[in-house]
Every structure is written in C-alpha cells, then in structure tokens.
C-alpha cells in the first residue's frame, strides 16, 4: 500500500509540474504576443540584435524606414539593414554604435544620423541603442530604437532661419544684426580691432508706398537690398532692421574707409530709379555711422548712437552722412528732444499737463457778454516748474505724440467749458498739424462734442496757417466737418507764410489771427502796419473776424482799434492764468 501511495504521489507531482509548466508556457506565449503587438503598434522603429550584432527582429515601423522586410532582414548583420552614415551628410559610415553598446554595456543616444535605406534613399533619424542583459547581467544583444526626424529638423531649421532673416529681402533681420554686433563687441574687448556700424534710412520711400501701394514699396525694397549687397565686401554684413531701414556692419574698417563705402552706396542709389506701372521714382538714403571698438559700451548704446547720427543726417537735408561723436552739438540737441519725448509720455500717463487761459478782448464794442479766451497748455515738472509748449511741442510733433496731447487738451477743455458755459462766450482750443490729418482724431472730436452738453458755437478750434497749407486737403475736410457741427475755426499765425493770401480762398475759416511778428512793431514799422491793415481788410472782405496777437502795450491797442481789428490778445489786455482763475476777475486793462 505504501508503494502504491508513493507512485500516486509521484504521478500527482508530475501532473502538477506539467500543469505549472503549461501555465508558464502559456504565460510566456501571451507575454510574447503582447510584446509583438506592442512592437507592431508603436510609431518608433525597433531592431534587436544578438551579441554578435546579427539582426533578430525588426518591427513594421523599421521595415518602412529601412525598406527591409522582417524575413529578409533576420540573421543579417544589423549594419546591412540599418546602414548609418555620418551626421555631416557625407558617405562615410557612422561609428558602429551597436558594437560599442555591447562592448561597454552602456546605452547611447544619437540625435542626428543619416540612414541609408535599401532603395538608396536617405532619412535623417534620431536613434537610441540599449544593451539587452540576462539575469546574470551578461550582455546578450542590443535593441535599437529610432525614428524619422527629417521633417522635424527641416521645420526647426526653417524656424531658426525665419527668426534671423527678413522674409521680404532675404537679408538678416534686426535680431541677426544685434547678434552680429554682440559678437563684434565681444571680439573687440582687449584687442585693437575696429569696425564701423552704419544705420541707413531711405529718403522718400513713403512716396512710393502712398502713390503705388505696398506691393510697389516691397518690390523697391528688394531691388535696393540687392543693390546694397552688390556693393559690399564678403565680410560685411547687411541686414534690414526696419520698414525702410538697413544696418551694415563693416568689419575691420576705420571711419575713413567706411565713409568711402557709404558714399559709394549713396552714389549708386542716386543713379537708381524704381519703375512701377510706367512711373519712375528716385530715392536717396541718409546714413548715420559710429565706430565699434574696445570702448563701445553695449549693443544698445551702439544702435542708439547710429540711429541718432542717422537722424541728424536726415534732419540736415537728407541724403547726408553723419558720423557719431560724443561732443557733437547736433546730437546733444537730438538727445534733448528725446528727453522731452519721455517727459511727454510721463505727463500723459500721470496727468501732469495743466491748462491756462488767456483772454481775447473785443476792440470795437458791441460784443455779447461772456469770456472770450484761448486755452493754453503747460507741463508741470516734477520740481513744480511750469514748462511752456514751445519747449515740448516740437518733440511731440517730431515723434507723433501731438495727437495724443491734443486729445488730452480737448477732453479737459470741454469739461471746463461745460461746467462754466453760462460765463463763457467763446473758447479757442489749439490743435497740431498732425491732428488735422488723423481721421481717428476727427472722429474723437465729433464724439466728444456729441457727449458734451454745451453749444458748439461756444467752441473755436485754432490751426496754424503752416499746418493748414501743408495739409490743404485734410485741413479742409477737418474744417468743414467741425463747422458743420457749429464750431468756429481760426487760422493762427496768419501772414507768416509767403503765400498766405493765395491760400485764403481755399480755407473756409471764420477767424484770422494776425501773426504777432507784425503786430508788435506796427507803432514803429510802417511795413508791419501796412501788413496788419491788409490782413484785416482782406479778412473783412471775405467775411472773417480778425484777432491781433502779441498786443503788449496800450499804444498798440489804440492803433489796432483805429485800424478796425476786431479782437486783441496779449499782455496789454490779459495774461495767461490757470483755468480756475481766468473767470475770477479782470486780467488786463483796456484804455
């Protein structure tokens, strides 16, 4: 019985062993199936080899990339299937990274290699090789995972190119120029190297854009870029750094040699004509130059100096060359203007403007009751001092801040007129020439008038004669629009232009303000007296009222009254005072 029991136990153990073995085989089979499915479904290409580098397995993604099928590839040296070439794109084979991985038992990654396919093509791949180890840590082979990065690298290169190149001309852009300057500045540190930076601004480019459209302007920029590039040496760098602005780095040049290059550019451009739809246009270029050497502080300072020198060249009459110098008085004036730009921005942001008013007094009697005055603008400095507009408005106009300043003035002046309208006969508000041609500003004024609970007849907008004549079409549109609302329009500084009377018929204004340069001398200069009489008489013939400016003595008041001038403005009849005080009492004395 014991023997039989022993046989039964052995048989049962064998059954259990066979069952366990079957379960293990099934589990291994299913694991293998899952592995096969995984390898077939992943997007990355996978190749496995034995310790000798012979290929054991290749998944479908690898079949597609290499051109080899699984059946054709198995058993071959992996290098026949996965033929790698050097990263530099040559025909030289890449180092055997599978052999290296097996030998060192260390994984390796290669971000960019060229794969030679079965059919002779090339694919840029990123590859990782890892060793396959057994339970004892012995390397039994390698697995190679790779993927096609051709398109990815192409897009990366394209984006990198676009980041540093101008799409229109193909030249380097501002970023590329600044990078090149940074390298040049670094190279000059501690060395006796000198380069010259040129800042070029095309003259009259806007004429082409405005006349023929941006397509014509783009075409001209491409032609000019080619012209400039053809005149520079191989080591010189030309970039387009703005709309119609170019930058040049003249490597290894002194200022004298750079001047010759700049003059050559100007001469060639002077002989160039752009043709578009049978129209011919000439164009010039203003050039600012600055030396780049061991004393150069930074790229920012370098560009600011070159830009400032270019500004001075342009302001001197255009098609000029100006070389930057620290003690240059023209540049000092330029920096003074730039400082005002910052102060104006600060005043707009922090509400540091103040409004004054100066009375405009009737000379002939019979006027309706109420204050007649002109609004005047001041800036209150951080030290508490008042700054007159003659100091800051040129900078505002130069850097296109004038319309923003005018918006502030109109907003605050209207607010005051609304609050004091029962005591105001008419209030004059000055506007800059830039505001006349700004459609958005005109819309702003119309909206402000609609929202202001005050008769428009109490408002008069003053524009200078120079601004009106230089923008005749836009000035007329502005004048007609405001007069249609009931506002009056005054032509300030009348008589200052040589063609004042010739343009007067084309400007439907209500008031002529006679330029003070004639008014102040009428008691001792017969020519000035005749000029004031003529302006008044012609104004009356055309149905306009006249105002004499800069009336600074009672003698002038008497002469103007005798001539028949309708109003006087100046220290003899009223000083400028803050708005809060102008209605408080008498500001001047009329004899």
Q: Which residues are catalytic?
A: 244
Cα 199 to the center of its chain, rounded Å: 16
CB–CB of 283/218 below 8 Å? no
Pairing status of strand 237-240 against strand 245-250: antiparallel
Taking each helix axis as running N to C, give the angle between helix 472-484 and helix 439-451, from 0 to 180 degrees, rounded to the nearest 10: 10
Q: Provide the strand spans (E) within 149-244.
A: 195-203, 237-240
Cα–Cα separations (whole angstroms), residue 110 to 123, 125, 146, 152, 339: 14, 9, 9, 15, 55
* Residue 184 bridge partners (DSSP): none
Closest of 504, 513, 457 to residue 482, by C-alpha: 457
Rounded Cα gap, residues 214 and 271, in angstroms: 23
Instruction: State the CB neighbour count (10 A cutoff) for residue 477.
Output: 15
Host H or E run for residue 102 = helix 97-104
The string of DSSP codes covering 9-50 is HHHHHHHHHHHHHHHHHHHHHHHHHHHHHHHHHSSSEEEEEE
Find the Cα–Cα–Cα–Cα dihedral 402, 407, 413, 419, rounded to 10°: -170
Structural contact between residues 556 and 525, judged by C-beta atoms closer than 8 angstroms: no
Q: How many whole angstroms separate alpha carbon 299 and alpha carbon 171? A: 20
End-to-end CA distance of the chain, in Å? 154
Q: φ and ψ at 324, to 5 degrees? A: -65, 135
| Burial label, 38 (beta-carbon count in 10 A; 0-12, 13-18, 19+) | exposed
User: Which candidate, 538, 431, 539, 537, places its Cα nearest to that of 492?
Assistant: 431
Please name the helix (run of DSSP H) or strand (run of DSSP E) that holds residue 472, with its range, or none.
Answer: helix 472-484
* Segment (H or E) for 567: strand 567-568
- Cα–Cα distance between 563 and 362 in angstroms, integer? 13
Q: CA distances (Å), 61 to each of 39, 146, 440, in order?
A: 9, 9, 61
């Amino acid at each position: 019985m014991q023997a039989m029991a022993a046989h039964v136990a052995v048989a049962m153990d064998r059954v259990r062993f066979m069952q366990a073995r079957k379960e293990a085989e099934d589990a291994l089979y299913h694991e293998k199936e899952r592995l096969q499915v995984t390898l077939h479904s992943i997007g990355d290409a996978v190749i496995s080899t034995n310790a000798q580098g012979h290929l054991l397995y290749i998944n479908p993604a690898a079949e597609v990339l290499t051109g080899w099928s699984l059946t054709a590839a198995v058993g071959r040296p992996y290098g026949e299937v996965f033929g790698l070439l050097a990263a530099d794109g040559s025909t030289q084979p890449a180092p055997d990274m599978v052999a290296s991985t097996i030998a060192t038992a260390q994984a390796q990654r290669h971000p960019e290699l060229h794969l030679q396919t079965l059919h002779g093509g090339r694919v840029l791949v990123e590859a990782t090789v890892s060793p396959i180890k057994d339970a004892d840590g012995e390397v039994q082979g390698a697995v190679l995972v790779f993927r096609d990065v051709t398109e990815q690298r192409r897009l990366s290169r394209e984006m990198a190119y676009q980041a540093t190149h101008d799409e229109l001309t193909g030249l380097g852009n501002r970023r590329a120029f600044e990078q090149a300057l940074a390298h040049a500045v670094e190279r000059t540190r501690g060395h006796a190297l000198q380069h010259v930076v040129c800042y070029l601004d095309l003259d009259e480019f806007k004429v082409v854009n405005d006349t023929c459209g941006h397509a014509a302007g783009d075409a001209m920029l491409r032609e000019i870029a080619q012209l400039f590039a053809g005149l520079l040496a191989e080591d010189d760098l030309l970039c387009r750094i703005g709309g119609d602005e170019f930058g040049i780095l003249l490597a290894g040049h002194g200022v004298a040699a750079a001047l010759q290059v700049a003059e050559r550019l100007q001469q060639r451009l002077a002989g160039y004509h752009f043709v578009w739809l049978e129209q011919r246009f000439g164009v010039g270029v203003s050039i600012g130059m600055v030396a780049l050497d061991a004393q150069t502080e930074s790229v920012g300072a370098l560009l600011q100096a070159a830009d400032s020198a270019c500004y001075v060249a342009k302001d001197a009459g255009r098609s000029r060359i100006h070389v930057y110098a620290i003690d240059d008085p023209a540049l000092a004036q330029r920096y003074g203007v730039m400082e005002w730009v910052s102060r104006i921005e600060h005043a707009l942001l922090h509400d540091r403007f103040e409004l004054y008013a100066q009375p405009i007094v009737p000379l002939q009697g019979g006027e309706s009751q109420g204050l007649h005055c002109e609004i005047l603008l001041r800036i209150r400095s951080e030290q508490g001092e008042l700054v007159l507009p003659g100091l800051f408005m040129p900078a505002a106009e130069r850097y296109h801040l004038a319309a923003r300043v005018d918006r502030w003035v109109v907003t605050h002046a209207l607010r005051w007129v609304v609050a004091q309208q029962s005591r105001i006969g008419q209030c004059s508000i000055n506007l800059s020439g830039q505001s006349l041609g700004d459609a958005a500003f005109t819309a702003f004024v119309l909206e402000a008038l609609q929202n202001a609970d005050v008769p428009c007849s109490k408002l008069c907008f003053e524009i200078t004669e120079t601004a009106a004549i230089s923008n005749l079409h836009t000035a007329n549109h502005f004048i007609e629009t405001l007069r249609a609302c009931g506002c009056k329009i005054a032509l300030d500084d009348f008589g200052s232009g040589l063609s004042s009377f010739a343009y007067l018929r084309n400007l439907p204004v209500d008031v002529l303000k006679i330029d003070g340069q004639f008014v102040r001398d009428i008691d001792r200069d017969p020519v000035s007296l005749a000029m004031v009489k003529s302006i008044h008489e012609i104004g009356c013939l055309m149905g306009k009222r006249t105002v004499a400016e800069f009336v600074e003595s009672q003698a002038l008041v008497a002469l103007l009254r005798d001539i028949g001038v309708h109003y006087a403005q100046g220290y003899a009849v009223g000083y400028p005072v803050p708005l809060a005080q102008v209605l408080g009492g008498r500001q001047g004395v009329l004899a």
